[in-house]
Chains A and B, each alone.
Chain A
Amino acid sequence: GAGVSQSPRYKVAKRGQDVALRCDPISGHVSLFWYQQALGQGPEFLTYFQNEAQLDKSGLPSDRFFAERPEGSVSTLKIQRTQQEDSAVYLCASSSGTVNQPQHFGDGTRLSIL
């Protein structure tokens, strides 16, 4: 497909477990973003990659959150020792450039922590 692909679509985990969320951006897009969307809220920025370099991780809420994009394409967002407040939809977006280029979003991963 031509769009941003995220997997899994839904993830249920017990508190304390580690989870990994995958994002497959649009081919050729150098920029990749992760956002967290709490229920009833707008997306909030987590982190940004330009190719394989993580240039901004200012939005990651704690050191339990870790993201990587080792080959400049697929990215993984990992959350260690999950807490209930981590329950949210995690959105991935990609673009061909910086902020003046439109970001294309995936359908998100809905994470529920029990």
Chain B
Amino acid sequence: AQSVTQPDIHITVSEGASLELRCNYSYGATPYLFWYVQSPGQGLQLLLKYFSGDTLVQGIKGFEAEFKRSQSSFNLRKPSVHWSDAAEYFCAVGQTGANNLFFGTGTRLTVIP
């Protein structure tokens, strides 16, 4: 069965500092991987996705993520965090032949001045 683990429930970083949010997945074949961001009271916005090819993917708002098959990870990074990045971040995985996404429990990001 598929699963997605986001081990950090809450992360606090200073504005301008770098950020890495962890995501580990469990799936036998190459998954489809996504990162979404959710601001309070809002739906989920897609930051980036990985299907195949280059393992380093670029997304919107200066985010990037790296797919590491050996570690079953798809960590999200940003070199310099802005106050507006404060939100909940969800990693999700999909698989060939299935229709839905499996989401992690999310990581809440707080940005301090």
Question: Which residues of A are interface residues toward B (Cβ below 8 A)?
Answer: 4, 6, 31, 33, 35, 40-45, 48, 50, 55-56, 59, 91, 93, 98-100, 102-108
Contacts and interface: CB of A to CB of B under 8 A. Distances in A.
Interface of B: 4, 32, 34, 36, 41-46, 49, 51, 90, 92, 94-96, 98-106
B41 to A, nearest CB: 7
B100 A56 contact: yes
A107 B45 CA distance: 10
A107 B34 CA distance: 18
A44 B90 CA distance: 12
B100 A45 contact: yes
A70 B49 CA distance: 31
Given A56-B99, A100-B51, 4 more contacts: A4-B43, A42-B105, A43-B90, A105-B36
A87 to B, nearest CB: 16
A8 to B, nearest CB: 13
Given A100-B32, A107-B41, A43 B103 contact: yes
B64 to A, nearest CB: 17
